[in-house]
Every structure is written in structure tokens, then in C-alpha cells.
Chains A and B, each alone.
Chain A
């Protein structure tokens, strides 16, 4: 059993109730948390994440997670560790350097460099709601008359899962990708990409092109829900002011998924599912329960944040109030942990101990869901842009 799968069950039951969707009613939390690992044949992780990109290290004062999943992350290691002599492919040498470094300083430094890092014992803002209202929306008038139109600008796992859940609930979903920087999950486990992106229209834009940037604004204007997971400066560079758009578009719901929050310094920190799980306190909880640190789940903050984002989006859309909402992956984990502690601390402890003891075993088997057709890259660009140009 994957720890926190029961938290996912709880959120899914809420989403099923809210949307009235039979397809969502049939889902279970463990499936959403474990389906990628099962499809990719991953093992239950120890100190290296299930996907292999993130590692736990011991530094002075705390354990740290360092995610080196992007190809050129390793080039930053000599600068991170202030050494010119490091072999950046020698994980033992990296571990030795980290062991001599102050954990909190190292993580702060790495984050300022754009590396996805986390402390095992991170000081998180106290949160009982993982979804924060960032901008108050303008309520739309009248009842909802049709299923929502969703524009999915996100990539990887959390955002696409949120779009997928809304699609299961009947929404029409358009996935937008950059021509030069497509969703990297296309290069990962094929069946998993298809699971998350089946049924979505595919629009591809060149964000360096002014008319394509204008087209993006038109697509946004024709949508009821926008799902986005970019850092603030990336949006600014596209000329998108989400706050202004939300304040001037009645009923528009905009969900921003971040690693560590949409405000202040943390808005610029990069976070992926495994390191955000650590930042949310999951590896510390594992260590407290079992005596050994390690990763819990497979990029666990991604699926939990995706479900949270879908809930937030549907709730704000169906109430017609609109607004911009922030879902921070590390805060989602912290909230889930807090609730699990409050609900049944013994069950949480037992699930963490069992998880730790099973390290190295195959990932728990979960339900195999049907996979529908996936549109090819950019297949719907012309049709969709023609449609919004007519509006």
C-alpha cells in the first residue's frame, strides 16, 4: 500500500461527488499514485527516487533531496558545491562534498541556482488548505449551461493529471505545448503519457512568435478553466498577466501549480514530485516511523497535487465565482500528512514502516485503466486557432 493513498481516495470521493462523474467514482487513490510506476516497472524506492532522478543525501544538520533529472543539472554541481575538481558523474564524490556542507545553506543556494532541492525537515508555512486563492475572481452571471472548456498549459504530471480528471468529468480539454519545448513526458513511459493526455485536443505554439502569443491569449479568453504550472517569470516573458486576465474575465478559473508556492522568493524555486514530497515532510515522517529515510511513492507530490488542482478548478468553475488559485506541491504533501496524522496516526505510521521495509521490491500493483486515443503533436492547432479567431 502506498502511504497517503487514502488521502487521494478522500479527495477523489469529493471530486466524484462534486462532478457526479461515474468515471471518477470508479478511480482509487492508489491507482493514480502508482500507475506510472507500475507501467514503467519501477521498484519501491530507497534513497534514490523510483524514477531515478532524485537522491537523498546527508548534509550537515539535515538530510537533503537533490533532483538531477534534467540533462544539464549536473553541470551546476561544481558551482553549487564550490569546487572546480568535482567529477559531476561520480555520485560518491558528490555525496562526500554534500556531507561537508551545511544543509540549509546548500538548499538555499541550489534553489537560487534553479536546482530542485529540499530539506528533509523544512520549515513550511502552516497550511490546512493546500489550495490558496491568489486572485479574487469576477463572478459570472447565470447558471452553468455546459461542461467546462479547459486549457491545459502545463506539462509533466500534476497539471496534465488535473486536466485528465476534468476530462473524465466531461470537460473539453485543449493541451497547449511549446513547439520548441514539448511536454517531456512524451519521451517517458508512452502508456502513461497516453493515460494522462488521452482525449485532449493538441495545440502547438511557437512562443517566440508574436502572433502565436496573441493566439494563446485568444485561447485563454475562450476557456472556462486554465491549468498552468510555469514559474511567474516564464509567464511574464510570454506577456501573460494572469492576475489581470482573471480580474477582467467573469467566471474564469485559473489554477497555478507550483513546487513551493506562487508568492515571494519561493515562487522562483523549481520543484518536481519527488523533491516536493521531501519538502512536504514525507521523508522525515518515513525516518521517524521506520528509522530510515527514503522516498515515499513515485513523484508522489505530482498526483496528489493534480487531484487537488482538479478539485479546486471544478469547485470554482461550478460556483461561477472564478479566480486564480495556487496549488503548491510541497504544501499539498504537508497538508496530506497533517490530515493523515490527525485522522489515524497509527495507520500512517504502519503504512510508512511497511513502505520502508519493502524498499527494492516491485511497486505495488494497481488497477490498469483503459487508454484512449491520443492526438498527435499539434494535430488540432489549425482548427482551434481558426475557432478562436472567429470569436
Chain B
């Protein structure tokens, strides 16, 4: 069998290969729905309001990690996908595929996490599905969370050169927490997984677009934004916020900080006149919220370093820690 005939791990990593795989599916007959970066879809309800529909599947190994579990990130992830488009989440569905032999206590903890998020955000879980697979046919538990919401005004305004790029907090904390078991290290870093409803509401009127940072890190989300809006960006490397321990783990594993996943962080673009206010408002939720750069006409993301500058392209491949 040729290499091209099997699905590879890279195809699900959130980078370029995944985008290409999804394009190849060819789901083009969307009727009146509009699709945003294959993450969410919107339907114009005719009175300026939009219905927003999103879905996400989570298989995280290990299921439990410092600061959270797969249930927590699954619920937050979908709620956040709705929030970043400006939608008020209305309801969630939870689909579970569980491996035979999965401990009941673990399942209870995970469900309890989903419930906790649901109560905290007042977004009910209204439907779902549960399947059990034979031992070995699925790795522990796979959770799909889909969600619908209504946006009075979609957060999809147009952006232009001179607009400012802001990040809501320190990068890479989720990745560092999850990788700790696999690479056998300990830190004080816990997953940053959380619902972003309040933060986005706080700045919604001041910003043009928002996207949550997930797999592929800030490198993925900023390149996606540039592709979607036909813009470029220049980032100031010294402004990029990250905890020292996150930076140290990235260096230890030879992984690019910019490609580390978060789960409770987003980037937004705001007009220059609002930028400082957005930064201050977000700092009330996370001290590390920061203006990190600005929009340009260049079509690529460039990082200005202490010496010169370089490109920050879309991540490719699976994150393979390097030692050599």
C-alpha cells in the first residue's frame, strides 16, 4: 500500500496536512450555511441574528492531566468555538465512545467535569449518544461535543493593516500539562482549559474577530486568520507571553513555543484605537494578556526577534520532540 493510501497521524494534528485532508472531503453543498475554517458553521436567521453550529472530538491521552481532564476540555472547547464567533451557547450534545474496561470512576469524573462546565456556564447538555467498543478498539474514551448558539452579531468583521493582534494570556500551558506524563517531567503548570464566555463578552464590542488557540498553537490560529482574511501579521517576539516553565519545557523537548496547544486562550484583532483597552480588560482575567503584534498587507506571519525577523508558517506534521 502506498503511503498516500493510509491516514497518517499528521492528518489529525491541526496543521497543514489536516486542512488538506478536510478539503479533500468535499462537503461543498452547504445550502445557506456558511462555514468558518471547518470549525463552525453559521446560518443567517434573517434578522441580523445567526445560528451557529460547531462540533469537536477529543481523544486525549492521558484522559487526566494536571489541571483537568478530557471532559473539561471537551465541554469548554465547544463552548469556546461558539463564543469566539460571538454566539451565546444554547445547548450541547455529548457523544461518547468508550473502551470496554474503562474504569467507571474515571468515567464519572469526566462526566462530572462536563457537568461542572455546563452548570458554570449555564449551557445545558441536551442530548447525546453512548457507545462501548471492545477492549483495544478505541484508546480509553473519545468524546464528541457539538453545540449550537445564537449570535446577535457575528464576530466576523473585516480586518485591515494597522489593526492590532492581542492574545488573552500565556501560551502553551495545556500542551505542557498534557505532555508531562508522556515525557515524564513535572512542572507547576496546569492546563489552561476554561470557558471563555465572560472574557469574550467583556471585549466583544471592541474587537473585530476572535479565535481560540488550540492544536497547532498560535502558529496555526494566526496563519488561519491570515488565510481567511487575506492579511499578514508582524509579531513582536519579546511580547509573546508564556510562563518560564512553559518555555523551558519547549526548549527541553525541542518543540516550538508557537506550536504548543492551549485550551483556554484566544487571539483577537482589534482596531488600534481599542487595543490598549482590550488588553487591560483581558488582563483582569489573565495578567499575561498582551498586545503581540499588528496586521499587515504581507500575507504571511512574520516574527520580529531581538536580532532580525523570520517567518512563522503554518505548522506541519505531528509534534515530534527533537533531541538531535
A, B from the same assembly = no
